[in-house]
A and B are shown apart, each in its own frame.
Chain A
Amino acid sequence: MLKVDHLSIEIGGKQIVDKSSFFVPRGKITSIIGESGSGKSMTVSALLGILPPGAKATGKAVFNGKNLIAVSDKEMGEIRKAHLFTIFQDAANSFNSSVKMRHQLYEFSGRRTGDSSQQFQMKMKAILDELGLSAEIVEQYPFELSGGMLQRCMIACALYVEPDLLIADEPTSALDMVLQQEFIGLLKRLNEKQGTTILLITHDLDIVAEAAHEMIVMRQGEVVETGNVMTVFERPEHPYTRRLLESRF
């Protein structure tokens, strides 16, 4: 699905990510785990073509036969629209505060799939219902909803568009424990029911253990270990992974 090969990211001469290589298999939940500053969020930015100004990415990241690092802005835009969906950490700030949820949810979902406004309303209503959100939230503004509700709105859009690859960048770190559990459950359901490939970025081993099939361990800009979650948990090879696992209990 996604094959990253020798991806390096540099900001102002400083190496943020150093020749990292990993593979995200289709239909699985793959997790990138690492402490803050390990370069996992930067890796996501590079994959999505949203690196901050001054940052430069080299290497390859082949997704559906296209190298995400080298494609033009226009092509990248089309790939993002047609194949990817990304949920970010800070749901409370992921929406424009002065625009009604209806318009924003439509732009994030119905507009991408080319549905009319009516089709969108029907389909979104069903999804929101399923996620335990009242249909009235579409008439509200983001600042009237809680962070947990907004994160569920994001996942509602992911459920709606059924992307080839869902990227979730620390989606639960702004949520409390109960909402975290619930959110991970939703991700798993998305993966099991719709077969969505998910790339889950986290710093929380519990989430990896709970949700992921494959894992990638990053440390100081380098990929130190990759493999099946069960295997890595049982027989960690890199000392850092071992330390990480020990600190869990």
Chain B
Amino acid sequence: MTVKWIGKRMVMGMIVLLIVSFLSFFIMHAAPGDPAAAFYGGNAQTLNAAEKERISRVFSLDRPVIAQYGTWLAETVKGNFGVSYKEGRPVSTILFERLPNTLLLFGVTMFFIIVGSIWLGTAAGMKAGSVWDKGLSTVSIVTSSIPAFWLGILFISFFAVNLGILPSSGSGDIGDEGGFWDKLRYLIMPATVIILTHVGIYARFLQESIKVESRNYYVTVARANGIAERVIRKGILRNASIPYLNYIGMTIPSFFGGSIIVESLFSWAGLGQLTVKSVITKDFPLLMGGILLTGLIVVVSLFVIDLIMYVVNPRLRKGDVR
């Protein structure tokens, strides 16, 4: 049962990645502009038509898009992501340089968002009508309405320009091998911006699930029969965590979308910033690699969330669809 379930999830994940790659490949080629010209950057005007054609032929850009996609897919499945147009290095090398930074930012922010929202959401949800309850409802609207890029600019202006205590951008000192503390200094601002703009809305979601769950019949029955409040709360929290986890799962893709902006703003050398850069330079192999790897992180995160749900919710395990 469990093996079958995991297998099904994995197949679904692969299908998602296939669709993502297919769509992005076609959207990429539908975008205006000539990759051959973009390849030459500032010197593009000096190219004559024959040279452009030659470049297109060399990179197989003159073949039908579907054929290009087929070739790309066949190579990718073999583990060959190709070579970056712009940097001339293998895409996989570049991706693996960027991956740790993205995972660090994603891991740290997600950790604090989850811990923070569980703490706030539980405190607010368990005491309906309290200051916590009303406070969180208001604060979450405010924090989630603040655009991350705007808060980021405020942070840079305050902590980097005015106070000069934090670096405004980058992900490590230049020429420095970058110890842990060094990295941490660069991480503080982008991470704080993402956490602050997200924790409220996640906490609010949990707060509402807890409040809905607390109104359930079994809670009254348990309370009427003198069951310890601690036990009742544990039960409520367990059930309320199911929609909460679902919500996290649903928002992870858009969470990544948001972190691309923050990565670009702080020049955090992660996948998001890389993807944005490769769009501008029309570096197709690198862009496809970046999209695919980001997609993979999303799919794996969703898989982990599904796995937690599977453990928490016995109905899933028992195949009950009521």
Whether the pair A48, B235 counts as a contact (CB closer than 8 A) is: no
Residues on A with C-beta less than 8 A from B216 are 93
Main secondary structure of the interface of B (DSSP, over half): helix
Task: Give bound CA distance, A83 to B221, whole Å.
Answer: 15
Q: Is B43 an interface residue (CB 8 A)?
A: no
A40 CB to closest chain B CB (Å) equals 15
Whether the pair B218, A107 counts as a contact (CB closer than 8 A) is: no
Residues on A with C-beta less than 8 A from B320 are 143-144
Whether the pair B315, A98 counts as a contact (CB closer than 8 A) is: yes
Whether the pair B226, A77 counts as a contact (CB closer than 8 A) is: yes
B225, B242, B320, most chain A CB atoms within 10 A? B225
Q: Chain B 92-120, CB within 8 Å of chain A: the 1/0 string?
A: 00000000000000000000000000000
- Among A78, A88, A97, contact of B239 (Cβ-Cβ < 8 Å): A97
With A81-B226, A82-B226, A143-B322: A95-B218 Cβ-Cβ less than 8 Å: yes
- Among A94, A98, A141, contact of B221 (Cβ-Cβ < 8 Å): A94
Whether the pair B221, A88 counts as a contact (CB closer than 8 A) is: yes
Size class of the contact patch on chain A? 20 to 34
A133 CB to closest chain B CB (Å) equals 19
Closest B residue by C-beta to A47: B224
Residues on B with C-beta less than 8 A from A11 are none
Closest A residue by C-beta to B227: A107
Whether the pair B315, A97 counts as a contact (CB closer than 8 A) is: yes
Task: Give bound CA distance, A78 to B223, whole Å.
Answer: 11
Closest B residue by C-beta to A86: B224
Instruction: Point out residues on A near B: beta carbons under 8 Å.
Output: 48, 50, 53, 77-82, 84-86, 88, 90, 93-100, 107-108, 111-112, 141, 143-144, 157
A80-B225, A96-B222, A98-B238 provided; 12 other pairs, C-beta below 8 A?
A: A53-B129, A80-B226, A84-B224, A86-B221, A88-B224, A93-B218, A94-B218, A94-B221, A96-B239, A107-B227, A111-B227, A143-B315
18 A–B contacts from the bound complex (CB under 8 Å): A48-B224, A50-B223, A50-B224, A53-B129, A78-B226, A80-B224, A81-B225, A86-B221, A93-B217, A96-B238, A97-B315, A98-B235, A98-B238, A98-B314, A99-B238, A112-B225, A141-B318, A143-B314
